[in-house]
Structure 1
């Protein structure tokens, strides 16, 4: 059965999963590609696989068994489920479409940038615009730093004001790189920082990510 692909980022992510296989590393501690794909499919289709194993008694045991059965499926089958997406009526799908699919963009780079010799992607303008929309939303809830921060990209600028600011900081980069930076992925985000001593100290003491 042929699958109609409507989202280029999801298709690119699925192709990366296909190419690298289930044991490929990610930059997420303790997670390989199989763990990452399970997280994404659980979020979109099978939330019981994420929550159920934590439950006590028979409910938890059945959830663990269901999780093991799922992980035993052929890798290509799991990737195809991801490629198909959560469906138009899924609340997760609606949130992703409204937010610029920030989670897909970030997790795709979690996989790509763990591979030897990785290079940053040059996204088309439409995809960079979606990354900027995701950044505008995610930065509101993911950056907890006592400094006034200005995010600067070719798509524009965004200011993050702090009620207890100890200085000012400017972060320059493409929208996707800034999205990785606000999510706390400093080891791979290609950005340039400019700031005074107080702001840089606040950055070290603050927190980014969900």
Structure 2
């Protein structure tokens, strides 16, 4: 099967195996191992994410379990990710409905931290997934006092803002717009047009969940 027709999970699995646990990501302070741990906990053990933030014995117990998980060989942990979330995983069900937006974004967090990276050529199915994720994520992720129109080769989406001071148009491929909506300005390849007030509002606003 060609790379462009792999599922996003399988494609990310192969990237994890190719790059190894110490590969950098664009996320401050995170390497590939941190990213993989985040995905595994999100899908299969969200209680440990919460446990790390609790005081006393709960935090200590969560820490011990996290250390035990990290002691497993890298390939074993990657294969666990490849298997996917269980049928009762809330994160898995959200991803299935949202077009795998979390996996698409985090795959690029890893890919685009490597020297010489280039945008991927996504299949029509993955492109549709990315565009669906844009539609679901943008209203939640964007807090900008400007009306924003997202323009891609597969369509457009307009986001109105209460108290807008101007209007922006952001052009790009669906995956690039997904990265931009999530606040990954340093790597998202988009073109932004707008009046001065709207551009200032963009700089003052925020994006991301």
Task: Identify the TM-score tier after normalising by the shorter chain.
Answer: over 0.9
RMSD: 1.0
Moved over 4 A (4+): none
Describe the SS at the equivalent of 1:169: strand
- The answer to whether structure 1 residue 61 and structure 2 residue 60 are counterparts is yes
User: What is aligned with 1:4?
Assistant: none
Alignment partners' CA distance in 1, 2:36 and 2:137: 22
User: What is aligned with 1:10?
Assistant: 9
- The answer to whether structure 1 residue 135 and structure 2 residue 131 are counterparts is no
State the Cα deviation string for residues 75-130 of structure 1 (Å, max 9, x = none).
Answer: 00100010010023322211111110111100000000000000000101111001
State the Cα deviation string for residues 46-84 of structure 1 (Å, max 9, x = none).
Answer: 113312122222222111111011111100010001001
TM-score by length of 2: 0.95
TM-score by length of 1: 0.95
Question: How many residue pairs were aligned?
Answer: 204
Alignment partners' CA distance in 2, 1:53 and 1:140: 30
User: What is aligned with 2:150?
Assistant: 151
User: What is aligned with 1:3?
Assistant: none
Describe the SS at the equivalent of 2:9: helix
Describe the SS at the equivalent of 1:110: helix
Question: Which consecutive unaligned segments of at least 5 residues does structure 2 have?
Answer: 1-5
* Mapped contact 2:44–2:86 kept (Cα < 8 A): no
Alignment partners' CA distance in 1, 2:164 and 2:58: 48
- The answer to whether structure 1 residue 20 and structure 2 residue 58 are counterparts is no
Alignment partners' CA distance in 1, 2:159 and 2:22: 38
User: What is aligned with 1:83?
Assistant: 82
Question: Which consecutive unaligned segments of at least 5 residues does structure 1 have?
Answer: 1-6
